[in-house]
Structures are given as structure tokens and as C-alpha cells.
Chain A
């Protein structure tokens, strides 16, 4: 219980710091919203001043932050500077699209990566192992925007099986999911394989065989259970990586998620939207790593003791 409280306190602190950073970063960047909304050379100075005032941009920075923080606590993220919609609505729409994509990619990455890694490890140096490793290092080394272009060219432009971009039917999900999942899947496969090989050679497997436990049970119960440790810690990291990748993949496939919105809002200097999005991504990362830690404690009984407290 103490452990969970510690985790929550830590998460709150990180989110507070993130709110400071997201608030500051956009203010510090050169240029401001007014110059992107109105042409400063043709607009009369008093009109610009009026706009500044109505948006609170003339106040000192600390006052702007207090307004911002009060808004966060009451669920009010302000109004978008570009399309005048509540930021909350824009962000929620984006979150749904991004979570759909990230979750699909996560499932594909682990659903394929883990079993492939286990099988490759158990049949080490077999043909299957070599093929899996070859595909893995390919996906590992190809940048995902290149992979995206290749897949679009082959499946959308040439074969016309799948749409090039956009949102709508389940067919739209396939290509971005594959692009997003490729690298995490390769990494998961490799980590699983290494971990299973390591555990398969551990002393305890010999003890189990010496007791006449069937080989299948030794591998698929004991070795796999001990390998989960590194696979789960990897999973927590992967969530973060996936979020980073969605920024690129969403832009390429014009997927209306948080990534597209973040890029768009930064280009427009739409402070409220950009800082809400950045903050949201920070919150997701904090939650993901907390979940990862908890999952690790569940998987590895030794960690439960070393961090004190009962799970």
C-alpha cells in the first residue's frame, strides 16, 4: 500500500513538472500566436493589442501559468486559438484515434513478438530462428517512415488493397498499425528470444529435468515465466516508444490522432492545444511506467520484497 502511495505521489510530481515545462516551452519559443493569426505588417497595432489582451497574452508569465493551472484542475484546457473550439473536445477526439492505433500496434507487437521469440529461442539456430532474426533486424533497421512509404506504395498504390491514408473503415487501421508495430515487434522478439535462451540455460531448469518434469512443462511454464520479467519491463518502455512513433505515423497516414494534432498545433502556435497535448502525453507516459512497475512486481516475486510493502 505504501508502495502504491509512493508511486502516486511521484506521478503527481512528474505531472506538475511537466505542466511547467509544457507551459514554458511554448512561451519561450520564438514567435507567438498573434503573428501566426494576423499579419503584423497589415494589421493595425491596436487590433493586435486587443487580441493579446483578450487572450491574456499581455499578462506576466506567472499569471498566465496560474490561469493555465486553474484551468487544468477544473478540466478546462481553454479554447483553441485557431478554430475556437474547446481544447478538451479536440484532445478527446485525438486521444480516441491515437489510443486505437497504439493499442492495435501494441497487441500486434507483443502478440507476434513474444511467441516468435520463444519459438526462435527453443529452436535456436534452426531455419525458423534465422528467418525470424532476419526479419527482425530488417524491421529494426528500416526507419518507420520509409517502411510506411514502401507499404503504401505496394499495398495502396500498386495493389490497391488498402487505402492510402485517412480514417473510416477497419482497412484504414491496417497499414499504420503495421508500420507502428514493426520496430517494437522486432525488439520484443529479440528481447524475448535472448531472455528465454538465458533462462533455458539457468541452473533451475537442470534441477527440474533432474526431477523428471517433462521438457515441455519446463520450457513453457518455468522458462517462460522467468523470461516474462524482461518482456514486461520492455512493454512499459514500448508504450512510450509507440507514442513517439505515432507522431510520425499519424502525419504520414493523416490519422487524426494526438500526434497529427500536436504537430499541427505547434505549427500554428496554438498554445492551449499544444500544451494540453504535450501534457496529456506526459500523463500517459507516467501512467504507463507506473503500470509497468506494478506488472513487474506481479511477475517477479523477488521485486515485491526489495521495494518493501505488500502486493
Chain B
């Protein structure tokens, strides 16, 4: 199999995820496509229920039971991931493809010391001595700026603060020098100052290690610090994708406009710009434009499902791109 030299390590094309509900299959994610090159940071933005976490789990081959890939492909390092055996997956995860999760309290095994969990990851993939793995674990803890790494090695997860736990998660994820790091809302459970520190740590690591970072979040503040491209998801599909600067300066989809508007710092007395209503549940999506019921500029044409604008650097899925503007 020849590998096209220009292909990004992660390429998602037309991904379609379904789950089997009470009334037959329900769409969870439809027609999702993006590339994740090394050294870049793509932010996947959306409210809960938009399908962003599922898309990430699909890349990792860790979809929860009952959720299936119904169409499209996820190519990992030039290989179609649907053809990977269990063994291939295990060798890929942790080594070239790593992931960190939202809640660092529940995402680390509470019964094992953090050092042991990092060492275990190294030994699962490399045939080196335990002592060498320990030395590597200390280096990793240093790399993620954990003070006194030697002592922290012997700490249990509950003995560390949320920020430190997330740093441990990152250290374990980076243990085998992956090319891709998927971060599923890793700062959501942390307080604001810790969030900023974790974001800048990942940003530094991305540069130092030439990591491709897929950062899943609903927090636009994080996006502006970290991402170079932003993809906005709504009700299981991508509605807009562009460079960070474009998205913030000239958003074209009314949903993106609303998101940015509701996150802006305002003068006292001026009400927040809220998007009315909430994201429809999977299975209850409108047949036309899925955002139309909440859209301030919706018209008759929005009863048909808009296609993604193709071949452009700035992708939008809207019948009237650019018509909604920031106030």
C-alpha cells in the first residue's frame, strides 16, 4: 500500500455515526470531514450533544457500545482504520495516537500510583526494564512541569490537585512520543487559572514535539488561545470550518455568530446575546437545516438541508453564509 506523502496523519472523510435507538437507527454524526496535520491544532467546537466527543472516540476506535460507524472513513497514518485488527489498534493507541479526557479524577485508576500508571503505559509498548521506564516517567513528569517529580511518582491520583492530575494524564499520553494528541475537553473540570496553564502547556508541547492536536471544547476562550483552525459542530454535523482568525473576525454561519456573541465580554447593562432554544436530540433533528428552528435569519429555503460549501478554505453549511453578523 502506497502512502500519499501529503496525507495528514488523521484524515476523516464523510464520517457517519449511528446508534440503534428504540425506533430504529438514529444519526449521531453525519458527513464529518477534516484533516489533522502534524504540528497543527484543530479545535472542534460545539455544545454538548453536537457529536464532538463521539467523533474523537471514533478516531481512537473507542466508540461506546451501541454506537457504530455507518459510513465514511477514518484514515490513520495512511491506513483505513476500519481494517485495523484489535492488535493493530492496541499498538497504535498510546504510541502514535494518544488521547486525554475531561475529568482527570475519574480518568486515572484510583487504586494505582501515578508513576505506576505511566510506567505501565511505557511497558505495554516497549521492551525496556522497569527501572528505565521509571526514569522515563520522571522525565515525562518534568516535561509537563510537575514540581518534585520523583516524589509525585508515588502519589495516588486522589492526592494530587485537578491540575496536577491532568498533567499526569498528559505525561502518560505523551509517554511514547505520539504524533497525534486528542484532547476531549481536558480543561472543563478545572478552575480558570489552571485551565490557562494546561492550555499553554499543550500549546508548548505541540510546538516542541510537532504534535497534531485535536482539541474538543465548548469554550471559545480556549479556542482563541490554542487553535489554528476551528471547526464548529451543530447537531452532528460541521457547520463551519476556517482558520481561527477568520472564524473570530468574519464568522459566516449564524450559529457561529451566536456562539461568539454569547461568549463576548460585555459592558455592564448590555444583555448577553443568547442563542434561543437548545440543541435538538439525535433522532429529533429537522430534515432541513438543523439550525433553522433557532436561527434568527431562517427563511423558506432553510427547509432544505444545506450542503457544505466545497473546495474553499473557509467552509460553511448555510443557505445564506455571511448574512448573520456580529453586533
Contact = CB atoms under 8 A, between A and B. Distances in A.
Contacts, number: 78
Interface string B96-121: 00110101001111111000000011
A238 to B, nearest CB: 22
Contacts of B124: 211-214, 217
B111 A211 contact: no
A86 B322 CA distance: 99
A212 B112 contact: no
Interface in B167-215: 169, 172-173, 175
Nearest to B121: A211
Given A204-B106, A302-B156, A305-B158, A210 B111 contact: no
Given A203-B101, A210-B98, A212-B93, A226 B109 contact: yes
A257 B158 CA distance: 46
Interface in B66-92: 86, 90-92
Given A203-B101, A207-B101, A212 B121 contact: yes
Given A203-B101, A217-B124, A301-B156, 17 more contacts: A203-B107, A207-B107, A207-B108, A207-B109, A209-B62, A210-B60, A210-B62, A211-B93, A211-B121, A211-B173, A212-B90, A212-B95, A217-B120, A222-B111, A226-B110, A301-B110, A305-B159
Contacts of A212: 90-95, 121, 124-125
Interface in B46-64: 60, 62
Central interface residue in A212, A213, A215, by most chain B CB within 10 Å: A212
A130 interface: no
A207 B94 CA distance: 10
A206 interface: yes
Interface in A221-248: 222, 225-226
A204 B120 contact: no
A153 interface: no
A300 interface: yes
Nearest to A225: B111
Interface in A168-184: none
A59 interface: no
Contact of B98 (A206, A211, A222, A299): A211
Given A203-B101, A206-B62, A212-B92, A226 B111 contact: yes
Contacts of B175: 211
Interface of A: 202-204, 206-215, 217, 222, 225-226, 299-302, 305
A97 to B, nearest CB: 38
A206 B101 contact: yes
B108 A204 contact: yes
A301 B111 contact: yes
A200 to B, nearest CB: 11
Q: 4 closest Cβ contacts across the A-B interface?
A: A212-B94, A211-B94, A203-B106, A212-B93
A70 to B, nearest CB: 48
A225 B156 CA distance: 14
B93 A209 contact: yes
Contacts of B173: 210-211
Contacts of B156: 301-302
A299 to B, nearest CB: 8
A75 to B, nearest CB: 43
Contact of B112 (A214, A215, A225): A225
Nearest to A304: B156
Contacts of B109: 204, 207-208, 222, 225-226
Contacts of A211: 93-94, 98, 121, 124, 172-173, 175
Nearest to A205: B109
Nearest to B118: A211
13 contacts: A204-B106, A207-B99, A207-B101, A210-B98, A210-B99, A210-B101, A212-B121, A212-B124, A212-B125, A213-B121, A226-B109, A226-B110, A302-B158
Contacts of A209: 62, 93
A301 B110 CA distance: 8
Contacts of B92: 212
Contacts of B120: 213, 217
Contacts of A217: 120, 124
Contacts of B101: 203, 206-207, 210
A311 to B, nearest CB: 12
A222 B112 CA distance: 8
A229 to B, nearest CB: 8
A209 B107 CA distance: 11
Contacts of B125: 212
A268 to B, nearest CB: 51
A191 B127 CA distance: 38
Contact of B107 (A204, A214, A225, A299): A204
A302 B120 CA distance: 21
Contacts of A213: 94, 120-121, 124
Nearest to A210: B99
A300 B1 CA distance: 49
